[in-house]
Amino acid sequence: MNASLNEKLGTVKWGEFKLIDVFTVKNTSNILAYNIIEGSGTVPYLCASSENNAVSTYIDYDKKYLEKGNCIFIGGKTFVVTYQEEDFYSNDSHNLALYLKEGTKSKNVFLYTASCIYKSLCSKYSWGNSISRAKIQDDVVTFPITDNGVIDFDFMESFIAELEAERVAELEAERVAELSAYLTVSGLDNYELSSDEENTLKNYQSLKWDTYNLEKLFGKSTRGKRLKGDDRIAGTLPFVTAGEASEGISAYSSNDVEVFEKNTTTIDMFGSAKYRNYKYGADDHVAVVHTEAVPMKAAIFVTSACHKAAHTGKFDYGHNFYAKDADALDIQLPTKDGKPDYDTMTALISAVQKLVIKDVVLYADRKIEGTRQMLKSEL
Is residue 194 one of the residues assigned to a domain? Answer: no
Residues 131 and 225 both lie in one domain? no
Report how many domains make up the chain: 2
Residues 219 and 331 both lie in one domain? yes
The pLDDT, as a whole number, for residue 371 is 57
Residues 50 and 142 both lie in one domain? yes
Residues 241 and 138 both lie in one domain? no
Is residue 232 one of the residues assigned to a domain? Answer: yes
How long a stretch of residues is the chain?
A: 379
- DSSP characters for 28-84? PP---GGGS-TTSSSEEEE---SSGGGEEEEE---GGGPBPSSEEEE-TTT--EEEE
Residues 13 and 142 both lie in one domain? yes
pLDDT tens, per residue, the chain with 379 residues:
555 666 767 788 999 999 999 999 999 999 999 999 999 999 999 998 888 999 999 999 999 999 999 999 999 888 999 999 999 999 999 999 999 998 778 888 999 999 999 999 999 998 778 899 999 999 999 999 999 999 999 998 888 888 877 877 777 677 667 666 666 666 655 667 788 888 888 888 999 999 999 999 999 999 988 888 888 899 999 999 998 899 999 999 999 899 999 999 999 999 999 999 999 999 999 999 999 999 999 999 999 999 999 999 999 999 999 999 999 999 999 999 999 999 999 999 988 888 877 766 666 566 656 655 655 544 4
User: Dmax of the chain from CA atoms?
Assistant: 88
Residues 127 and 225 both lie in one domain? no
8 lies in which domain range? 3-151
Residues 7 and 143 both lie in one domain? yes
Is residue 136 one of the residues assigned to a domain? Answer: yes
Residues 128 and 49 both lie in one domain? yes
Is residue 84 one of the residues assigned to a domain? Answer: yes
Q: What is d(CA 345, CA 333) in angstroms, rounded to the nearest whole number? A: 8
| Distance, first Cα to last Cα, the chain | 13
The pLDDT, as a whole number, for residue 184 is 64
Residues 131 and 19 both lie in one domain? yes
Among candidate residues 328, 336, 272, 329, the one with its CA nearest the CA of residue 298? 336
Residues 287 and 213 both lie in one domain? yes
- CATH at residue 14: 3.90.220.20
Is residue 101 one of the residues assigned to a domain? Answer: yes
Residues 133 and 244 both lie in one domain? no
Is residue 243 one of the residues assigned to a domain? Answer: yes
Domain boundary among 151, 169, 189: 151
Residues 40 and 131 both lie in one domain? yes
* Contact predicate 67/85, CB 8 Å: no
Is residue 359 one of the residues assigned to a domain? Answer: no
Give the distance from CA 181 to its chain's centroid. Answer: 15
Is residue 27 one of the residues assigned to a domain? Answer: yes
Distances (CA, A) of 49 to 67, 113, 129, 323, 356: 17, 19, 17, 59, 36
